[in-house]
């Protein structure tokens, strides 16, 4: 048989079964999606197929032949390649240098043969319709472009089976469209693509078959054509989940955050902030909509004192915080769900417990006389983490042992459940979460709002912005195009503003 079978796959992590007796068949030349809640075992199953994790029991065959995969090199022999969510690229090198890293073609046996490398890359890009300039520096490229390099690397090793673990979680809608085009082209050339995603619309659009995992067990495989998102959600979560709706209406309080004519410097990679002004009141959610990279990170950095404000000012509860240090600002009561959980939100090698109180160590519940009390921690934190539905092996386990979505929930538990704040800054708070967990985060955000906090919600998901925000500010090239009350907002208008088009059709 052409294709891959995985039979009776079980994975035991120190007594905890991440996968139990999973059978899955991946047909050659198809796109096969794998969906399931956070922690269902999707990444674990794919790590087994790519040779990075050994299964506890189970058998794999590739094109009818029994395969023993002891490492990624073994997987490569069976033409299996994986594109990881965290790219392994060197930003100071060009595309072609990154692609050949480790398998450099040599001229006369010792100098690197650049022209051969570039020829091979150009040919592969042409064959599969991948848009990349081999001479460009990786550090200057968007996330979408960097992902294409990772795909190219796998293709240049002649992979027939490509595994993509949540490739669209980090992409803009436009980049997602382009990736889907690439995937369709690869399928036409006979490649098999295994694709993990939490976005069911996209899964149904691109996949031929969809396998649902739940709590480490295989629930079923359905043809994409015959599935609906309601049915998939039922299979994944066991109940219906409603994500659309309107923001909760409550009375607003005092102005908590006042941003006045804030400008930051333009750099080679950023247009900076150009005269940003807005007020955010207690009990209000202000959504910042925009394509990634249009000043959202700069705004967060400016408010939190991580970038210099060249003119203008920021006030929090009437106090000027412009020029203060970021720790002073955070300690004045700011909860933050950061854009990148790995570099900003968590210390991966530390325990779940320590991560869940990081930066809140002075909390009276577990700090006495300047010392962290284990007793206090153990009285408080297991309950908080349970409330936030963090599915973990044990509270002392390293945070790196959690699935991606559960890592995000640890941050939410700390920032909403532990930290004392009156301002919440949430950047893509539901990135990487399953649909049930997204519903849960929306409820928690509304609780924060109901408790009288001011919420700044920055998200590239327009549906999320529309669901949660009382007012919507649209950012384009570091400027605020407009601020629209939710009841006057429609997706088309916001979409146009996000592209820099003002009412009347003028493009900026």
Ligand X SMILES: Nc1ncnc2c1ncn2[C@@H]1O[C@H](COP(=O)(O)OP(=O)(O)OP(=O)(O)O)[C@@H](O)[C@H]1O
What gap in Å lies between CA 356 and CA 213, rounded to an integer?
A: 28
Binding mask 347-386 for Mg ion (x = CB under 5 A): ----------------------------------------
Choose between 41 and 51: whose C-beta lies nearer to ligand X: 41
User: With respect to ligand X, which residue has the nearer C-beta, 233 or 286?
Assistant: 233
SS3 assignment, position 486: helix
Residues 420-449 contacting Mg ion, CB under 5 A: none
Contact assessment for residue 258 and residue 315, using Cβ atoms and an 8 Å cutoff: yes
Pick between residue 37 and residue 284 the one whose CB is nearest to Mg ion: 37
- Positions that interact with ligand X (CB under 6 A): 13, 18, 36, 38-44, 391, 393, 401-406
At its nearest, how many Å lie between Mg ion and the CB of residue 403?
5
And the tokens for 70?
A: 């002891």
30-59: which residues touch Mg ion (CB under 5 A)? 43
41 binds, among ligand X, Mg ion, none (CB under 5 to 8 A by kind): ligand X
- For residue 278, give both structure tokens: 């807005």
Name which of 292 and 401 has its Cβ closer to ligand X: 401
**Is residue 404 part of the contact set for Mg ion (CB under 5 A)?**
yes
307 binds, among Mg ion, ligand X, none (CB under 5 to 8 A by kind): none
The distance of closest approach from Cβ of residue 487 to ligand X in the complex, given in angstroms and rounded to an integer, is 34
DSSP codes joined into one string, 98-110: HHHTTS--EETTT
- Which are the contacts of 331, defined by CB distance < 8 A and separation ≥ 6? none
Least distance to Mg ion from the beta carbon of 43, Å?
A: 3
Binding partner of residue 391 among ligand X, Mg ion, none, CB under 5 to 8 Å per kind?
Answer: ligand X
Contacted entry of ligand X, Mg ion, none for residue 393, CB cut-off 5 to 8 Å set by kind: ligand X
Phi, psi at 76, each rounded to 5°: -60, -35
Q: How far apart (Å, rounded) are the C-alpha atoms in residues 470 and 282?
A: 12
What b/e string do you get for 19-30 counting C-beta neighbours within 10 Å, with b at 16 or more? Answer: bbebebebeebb
CB 46 within 8 A of CB 196: yes
- Minimum Å gap between C-beta 99 and ligand X is 27
39 contacts which partner out of Mg ion, ligand X, none, CB within 5 to 8 A by kind?
Answer: ligand X
Burial of 318 from C-beta contacts in 10 A (0-12 / 13-18 / 19+)? exposed
> CB of 442: closest distance to Mg ion in angstroms?
21
- Of 49 and 156, the one with the shorter C-beta distance to ligand X is 49
Nearest-approach distance from CB 166 to ligand X, in angstroms: 7
Interior CA angle at 74 toward 68 and 76, to 5°?
A: 130
Measured from the CB atom, is 97 or 403 closer to ligand X? 403
Residue in the block written with tokens 């054509």:
225
| Smallest distance from ligand X to CB 54, Å | 12
Scored b (16 or more CB within 10 A) or e, 125-138 reads beebebebebeeeb
Residue of 407, 428, 255 whose CA lies nearest to 345: 407
**CB nearer to ligand X: pick between 435 and 455:** 435
In the list ligand X, Mg ion, none, the entry touching 176 (Cβ below 5 to 8 angstroms by class) is none
User: Out of ligand X, Mg ion, none, which partner does residue 500 contact, by CB within 5 to 8 A per kind?
Assistant: none
- CA–CA dist 271, 479 (Å, integer): 9
Count of residues interacting with Mg ion (CB under 5 A): 2
What's the Cα-to-Cα distance from 74 to each of 70, 215, 255, rounded to whole Å? 6, 28, 59
- 3-state helix/strand/coil string of 117-142: HHHHHHHHHHHHCCCCCCCCEHHHCC
What is d(CA 348, CA 401) in angstroms, rounded to the nearest whole number?
Answer: 9
Mention every residue, 6+ apart, whose C-beta is less than 8 A from residue 292: 143, 172, 460
Q: How far is the CB of 401 from ligand X (least distance, A)?
A: 4
- Out of ligand X, Mg ion, none, what residue 38 binds, judged by CB under 5 to 8 A for its kind, is ligand X
40 binds, among ligand X, Mg ion, none (CB under 5 to 8 A by kind): ligand X
C-beta contacts of 98-107 below 8 A and 24+ residues apart: 98/138, 98/149, 98/153, 99/134, 99/149, 99/152, 99/153, 99/156
Considering the complex, what minimum distance in angstroms separates the CB of residue 33 from ligand X? 13
Name the minimum Å distance from CB 110 to Mg ion. Answer: 42
Residue 44 CB, nearest distance to Mg ion (Å)? 8
Q: Which does 495 bind (CB under 5 to 8 A by kind): Mg ion, ligand X, none?
A: none
Taking CB positions, which residue lies at the least distance from Mg ion?
A: 43
**C-alpha 215: how far from chain center:** 21
| Residue 202: contacted member of ligand X, Mg ion, none (CB under 5 to 8 Å, by partner type) | none
Of ligand X, Mg ion, none, which one does residue 297 interact with (CB within 5 to 8 Å by kind)?
A: none
Shortest Å distance, C-beta 421 to Mg ion: 29
CB-wise, 332 or 350, nearer to ligand X? Answer: 350
Nearer to Mg ion, 46 or 468 (CB): 46
Tokens of 281: 């009141």
CA-CA distance, 439 to 444, in Å (whole number)?
9
Nearer to ligand X, 232 or 497 (CB): 232
The smaller minimum CB distance to ligand X, of residues 35 and 130, is found at 35
Closer Cβ to ligand X, 319 or 347, answer by number? 347
Binding site for Mg ion (CB under 5 A): 43, 404
């Amino acid at each position: 048989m052409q294709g891959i079978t995985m039979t009776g796959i079980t994975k035991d992590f120190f007594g905890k079964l991440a996968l139990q007796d999973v059978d899955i068949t991946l047909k050659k030349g198809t796109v096969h999606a794998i969906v399931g809640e956070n922690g269902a075992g999707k990444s674990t199953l794919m790590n087994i197929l790519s040779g990075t994790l050994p299964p506890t029991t189970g058998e794999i065959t590739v094109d009818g032949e029994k395969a023993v995969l002891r490492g990624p090199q073994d997987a490569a022999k069976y033409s299996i390649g994986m594109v990881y969510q965290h790219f392994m690229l060197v930003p100071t090198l060009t595309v072609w240098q990154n692609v050949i890293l480790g398998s450099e073609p040599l001229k006369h046996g010792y100098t690197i043969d650049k022209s051969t490398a570039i020829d091979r890359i150009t040919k592969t890009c042409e064959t599969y319709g991948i848009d990349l300039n081999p001479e460009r520096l990786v550090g200057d490229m968007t996330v979408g472009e960097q992902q294409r390099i990772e795909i190219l690397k796998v293709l240049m090793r002649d992979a027939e089976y490509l595994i993509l673990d949540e490739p669209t979680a980090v992409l803009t809608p436009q980049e997602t469209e382009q990736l889907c085009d690439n995937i369709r082209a690869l399928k036409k050339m006979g490649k098999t693509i295994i694709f993990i995603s939490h976005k069911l619309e996209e899964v149904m659009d691109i996949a031929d078959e969809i396998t649902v995992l739940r709590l480490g067990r295989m629930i079923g495989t359905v043809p994409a054509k015959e599935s609906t998102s309601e049915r998939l959600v039922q299979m994944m979560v066991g109940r219906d989940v409603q994500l659309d709706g309107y923001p909760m209406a409550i009375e607003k309080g005092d102005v908590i955050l006042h941003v006045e004519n804030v400008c930051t410097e333009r750099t080679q990679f950023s247009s900076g902030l150009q005269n940003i002004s807005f007020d955010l009141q207690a009990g209000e959610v202000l959504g910042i909509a925009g394509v990634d990279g249009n000043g959202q990170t700069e705004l967060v950095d400016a408010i939190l004192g991580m970038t210099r404000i060249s003119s203008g000012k920021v006030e929090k509860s009437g106090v000027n915080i412009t020029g203060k240090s970021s720790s002073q600002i955070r300690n004045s009561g700011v909860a933050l769900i950061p854009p990148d959980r790995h570099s900003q939100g968590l210390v991966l090698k530390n325990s779940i417990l320590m991560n869940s109180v990081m930066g809140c160590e002075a909390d009276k519940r577990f700090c006495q006389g300047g010392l962290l009390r284990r007793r206090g921690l153990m009285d408080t934190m297991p309950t908080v983490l349970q409330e936030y539905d963090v599915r973990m092996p044990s509270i002392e386990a390293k945070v790196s042992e959690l699935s991606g979505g559960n890592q995000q929930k640890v941050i939410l538990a700390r920032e909403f459940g532990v930290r004392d704040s009156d301002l919440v800054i949430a950047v893509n708070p539901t990135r990487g979460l399953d649909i049930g967990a997204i519903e849960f985060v929306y409820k928690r955000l509304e609780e924060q709002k109901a408790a009288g906090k001011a919420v700044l919600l920055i998200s590239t998901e327009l549906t999320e912005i529309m669901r949660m925000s009382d007012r919507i500010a649209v950012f384009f090239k570091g400027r605020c195009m407009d601020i629209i009350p939710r009841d006057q907002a429609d997706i088309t208008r916001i979409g146009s503003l996000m592209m820099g088009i003002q009412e009347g059709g003028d493009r900026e």
